[in-house]
Amino acid sequence: MKKKQLLFALGALSMLLCATACSTGSGSSTTTKSESKSSEKDDDTSSKEDTEDKEDEDDKDKKKEADSGDDKEDKNKSSKDSQDLSMAVPGYAVGEVPPVPIPDVPDLSVMENPEAKITLNDTKKLSSVPGITITPVKVENGTIVSGNTSVQLDENGGGQYTDGNKTVQTDGDGTGQYVTDDITIQKNADGSGQYIDNKREITLQVHSDGSGQYSDGIKDVVFQIDSDGSGQYVDSANEVRVVVMSNDYTSYTAPDIRILHRTDGSGYYKNEKLDLKVENDGKGSCVIKHGSKTVTVDAKPLGKPGVFSKLKPVPAIPAIEANSVLITLDSGVLFDVDKYNIRPDAYEVLTNLADILKEADIKKFQIDGHTDSDASDEHNQVLSENRAASVKNFLAEHGVTAEISTKGYGESRPVATNETAEGKQKNRRVEIIIPAF
């Protein structure tokens, strides 16, 4: 009996030990699985954080590169803007070749008043400055006028008139002869003839087709013009020459400056003083060289080269006597494109003008601003007013004490067509009217 009880007790103890061992093993296994899942979760979280950190770093790098690119673009843009200023012809946009300035024969029907306080001779040093022209004019009711009158003696306007040293022989149709001590006019019915002014050393010979020759001995200027607009202009005093070959090119030559326009749309501007050359190939491209810099920009072919205007018929009796002097300033010399601030390199021009006005003791005059037809009427009106005001302020700051009035006319008073570059250049101007008395 005791033996059976002992065996039963040992069996129970064995079962208890087995159950305990099984329970312990099962718990250890559960813990390991849980830890494994936790470890995997931690690994996933760490991997995600690493990825996010890497993405943040990549975003920062990209942003840094973008900012760097923006800075580089801004620097390039700044450099380009700076380059634009240095690579442009003064008064023109980058890539533009200025038109060849085509001079006109003066209107001989307007005679200079010898009693004028300012005469062409007095302003010779000023008129030799590029961008300034001096013209005697007659002003009536605020408008500049010029024209011809003929002596009418009989009902048909024909006859003869003699008064001291003046002799008029006319057929009544504007033809005939006019002679004084200084002036001789011979005019034919077809507009041909000759004009001689001994005092001013001016001669004009005109043919019926508009060709002929004009010369000014005092200014040392000669025009030779053919019927097709070709010919040449020579200003020996200022070393200026304009040559027109109607089927080939038009050129302008002056000290340090050369401009050429070809009929194929190509041409160039060269300024040795500025070490600048702008050359248009006529095929949509323009090469600009300034010092050691060279750039290529898109550019339209140049317009048709300008030609000389045909000579006007010999004038009839010059019955209009100038009562004022007109000083015309080229806006391209004074201002940059679409600006009204005086350009620094125009200071010399206006300083010379101020000296002339002070020396002549001018008491009162008017400054008028004019533009071409580009942009709106309102814009051009304001621009013309501001440009006239800028010239007035400059003269006043340089000692001109005269009473100065200003007026802007915008594009309303063109003196040439706005359909060509040459015409627009003439319309962009500032005019100063000086009363002769």
Residue 147 pLDDT greater than 50, yes or no: no
Q: Which of 91-105, 115-129, 357-371 has the lowest mean pLDDT?
A: 115-129
Main-chain phi, psi angles of 395, to 5 degrees: -65, -40
Residue 176 pLDDT greater than 60, yes or no: yes
For the chain, the straight-line distance linking the first and the last C-alpha, in angstroms and rounded, comes to 164
Residue 194 pLDDT greater than 80, yes or no: yes
Q: Which pLDDT tens digit goes with each residue over 380-430?
A: 999 999 999 999 999 999 999 999 999 999 999 888 888 888 888 888 899
- pLDDT number for residue 360: 76
Residue 244 pLDDT greater than 50, yes or no: yes
Residue 185 pLDDT greater than 80, yes or no: yes
CA atoms of 355 and 361, how far apart (whole Å): 10
- pLDDT number for residue 381: 96
Q: What is the pTM of this model?
A: 0.54
pLDDT band at 183 (very low <50, low <70, confident <90, very high): confident
CB 129 within 8 A of CB 346: no
- Residue, of 34 and 297, whose pLDDT is higher: 297
- pLDDT number for residue 175: 74
| Interior/surface letters 365-403, b for 16+ CB within 10 angstroms, e for the rest | bbbbbbbbbeeeeeebbbbbbbbbbbbbebbeeeebeee
Structure tokens at 150: 């003929």
Over range 318-341, report the average pLDDT. Answer: 75
- pLDDT number for residue 186: 86
Q: What percent of the chain has pLDDT over 90?
A: 37
CB 120 within 8 A of CB 130: no
- Residue, of 40 and 58, whose pLDDT is higher: 58
CB 254 within 8 A of CB 239: yes
Over range 89-103, report the average pLDDT. Answer: 90
pLDDT band at 214 (very low <50, low <70, confident <90, very high): very high
